[in-house]
Amino acid sequence: MISEAIDNEQIDALLSDVLEVHGYDFLEYSHASIKRRITRLYTLDNFVSFAEFRYTVKSDKQYFKRFLEEITVNVTEMFRDPGFYRSLRNDVLPVLGTYPFIRIWVAGCSTGEEAYSLAILLKELNLLQKSLIYATDINPSVLDKAKKGMFPLNYLKGYSENYVASDGVKDFSSYYTANYSLAKFDESLSSKMIFSTHNLVSDHSFNEFQLILCRNVLIYFDKELQHKVFQLFDNSLEKLGYLALGSKESLDFWPKAKEYKRVKLEKIWRKL
Amino acid sequence: MAETLTSRKCSALIIGGSAGSLDVLLEIFPDLKNDINFPIILVTHRKSGNDSLLTDLLQSRTNLSVREAEEKQPILKGNVYITPADYHLLIEDDQTISLDYSEKVNFSRPSIDVTFQSAAEVFKDELVCILLSGSNADGVEGLKTVNKLGGLVVIQNPDTAVMPYMPQQAVNNAKPHVILNSFEMAEFINKLNFKN
């Protein structure tokens, strides 16, 4: 686990290759995090030298898929931070419910746990039939998992507790069927989701939304890139739309933050 | 020996602890000098939930400013930063904080290993790390890196720790420079001020 072998120049050289050969730009990611992810993968896969690792990343398309999946963080859960979901349920979605049609973007959706949580809320508020959830991620293989809507059964106890703590009133198990070690979520939930790759670093706005969720993605970006992504969200958000961030992320230091108003104590801002 | 070890430059102090470490922190904090001229970062295992509890508890015992660490925040001398529950804390080269929600390490998030290793790469021989009481082996690998990169490795005396397993693992595997009883720690930390 010790990382003395890899220095900052090697990391930069590797990330420059990745940009040049594969078109993914990680140069504006938080350096300490990306370095740790790269070091972790390098150690995990037992490369004999960094040169060999760099060459493999550069030339082996199959391995690059693994690289992409492993250096981006895909840890997520359903109804994470129950207070946040309580606020969506009680403060945000009822307002959006007055619209004829609701468009939501889950940016950096990873394996889809937040998109499914959101769909459950919409269903309980009788809004799912007029909603569309665009769930995007940089990483095609996590999207394949998200589409299936199957999550490891041993996590469901924790998700169920989160759901109850977020003011969920139904029997959480009514939303899935257990199948061996997996819980398969009801297809009525995913019927209102559109999955697509989207790279927050290099891709543009593709629609206008009333709610954008992007939680625990921006912590991996440096400040300049965070501000670029806020601008992308701003371009993609209707007037009076909502932007929701992770529990340790904030709009505060972005110059245009004064055009947004915080919703209560949660990390949710409304565009004015 | 402790005299010569504390007479070197300290640019950051990281304290890691798990079960049984709160009592030690509560013992240390009232005796810390007000003019500590390096930042202190705490990494402790705890349940997510009431985030401000530990901050308030420690703030009430010191004149140093105690706050929960925020992402991209510069770490400044004389300030105490508490790692938020459920995030790893990393240090950037420009001495700002990055938070990270990746996989648990040693069944822990925050993991003490993660912060020790990250800080060691930035501060090298100007880093001091203290590992306190706890019941798993988190922190040990991190201390090895700290040692290798020239930092100072300090461990709570396992005989006086509420949970001796974690400091004992570190004593056995991480070649500590100093082993301290909890009542000796505040004075040790105050002396790190000496050469800055």
- Categorize the per-residue pLDDT at B52 as very low, low, confident or very high, splitting at 50, 70 and 90: confident
State the best of B41, B67, B72, B94 to mutate against chain A, taking most chain A CBs within 10 Å. B72
Among A31, A75, A248, the residue with its CB nearest the CB of B92 is: A31
pTM: 0.92
- Categorize the per-residue pLDDT at B8 as very low, low, confident or very high, splitting at 50, 70 and 90: confident
Q: Do A31 and B93 touch (CB under 8 A)?
A: yes
Residue B196 has pLDDT above 60, yes or no: no
Residue A234 has pLDDT above 80, yes or no: yes
Q: What is the Cα–Cα distance from B98 to A219, expressed in whole angstroms?
A: 7
Q: What is the Cα–Cα distance from A66 to A78, expressed in whole angstroms?
A: 24
As a whole number, mean pLDDT of residues B112-121 equals 97
Chain B residues lying within 8 Å of A1, measured CB to CB: 113, 117, 141
As a whole number, mean pLDDT of residues B134-149 equals 96
Q: Do B90 and A248 touch (CB under 8 A)?
A: no
pLDDT tens digits, A148-181 = 999 999 999 999 999 999 999 999 999 999 989 9
Confirm or reject contact between A6 and chain B (CB < 8 A): no
pLDDT in the model for residue A1: 44
pLDDT in the model for residue B193: 85
pLDDT tens digits, A197-227 = 999 999 999 999 999 999 999 999 999 999 9
Q: Is B45 a catalytic residue?
A: yes
- Categorize the per-residue pLDDT at A264 as very low, low, confident or very high, splitting at 50, 70 and 90: confident
pLDDT tens digits, A53-105 = 999 999 999 999 999 999 999 999 999 999 999 999 999 999 999 999 999 99
Q: Do B102 and A75 touch (CB under 8 A)?
A: yes
Among B90, B113, B148, the residue with its CB nearest the CB of A33 is: B90
Using CA coordinates, name the residue in chain A closest to B88: A33
ipTM for this prediction: 0.89
Provide the token pair at B45.
Answer: 């295992």
pLDDT in the model for residue A3: 45
